[in-house]
Amino acid sequence: MQNAKKDFDKEAAAWDEVPARVKLADDVARAVREAVALAPSMDVLDFGCGTGLLTLRLQPHVGSVTGLDSSPGMLARLEEKVAELGIGNVRTALVDVSRGEAVPGRYDLIVSSMVLHHVEDVPGLLARLRPALAPGGSICLADLDSEHGLFHDDATGVMHDGFERAELRAMLEAAGFADVRDTTAATVTKPGADKVVRDFTVFLLTARAG
């Protein structure tokens, strides 16, 4: 793990060119659709949306999606894609929660994929997300199961080498979420930092407003 902040702005232009990253978004979107009954009336927040790989896979199934990120470069790429596709129900929000900025609005569903391992204070983040969830709403969090620091070739900005599901479940419950469930959303097969090809599993934890 490295505590230096990763410069996602520099990676935005080529972010979508990694096939494994695109497949992971497909898998996570499928897991979200299986875990939550999406509806045209729903307002969704994609927290740490990046270039919108997950945003754009959920957008056709809901009323609106707000893509929130702290990287202007990532959001600019999402905005380009939204304009190119002529999509009218996706908006962006430049917010850095780590600096104390509030999450704007309230949502029926909050999703976040492969973001938590970049967050130093996960319990603090969950406490900030809870008020942004409408009564009866759900949260879906996808991230790595615990691994030995081998998933990332460059560990800059990586604060956690994955998570134990039970540990994250306890964090959600402490933040006021209820009915926490988990499933395996995806398996990523790739060379680790040691150049050995192995499987890394990605969970989806789902909870509702308590």
Q: What confidence score (pLDDT) does residue 140 get?
A: 99
pLDDT (tens digit per residue) in 112-159: 999 999 999 999 999 999 999 999 999 999 999 999 888 887 777 888
- How far apart, in Å, do the first and last CA atoms of the chain sit? 33
Query: Whole-structure pTM over 0.75, yes or no?
Result: yes
Give the pLDDT confidence score for residue 205 in this predicted structure.
Answer: 98
Residue 154 is predicted with a pLDDT of 77
Instruction: Give the sheet arrangement for strand 133-144, strand by strand.
Output: 90-94, 64-69, 43-47, 107-113, 133-144, 197-209, 177-191
Q: Which amino acid is at 29?
A: A
**pLDDT score for 6:** 57
Domain boundaries, the chain: 8-209
CB of 38 closer than 8 Å to CB of 62? yes
Does domain 8-209 fall under CATH 3.40.50.150? My reply is yes
Q: Which string of b and e fits 154-166 if b means at least 16 CB within 10 Å?
A: ebebbebbbbebe
The H-or-E segment that residue 199 falls in is strand 197-209
pLDDT tens-digit map of 167-195: 999 999 999 999 999 999 999 999 988 99
**Burial of 171 from C-beta contacts in 10 A (0-12 / 13-18 / 19+):** buried
| Strand 197-209 with 133-144, pairing | antiparallel
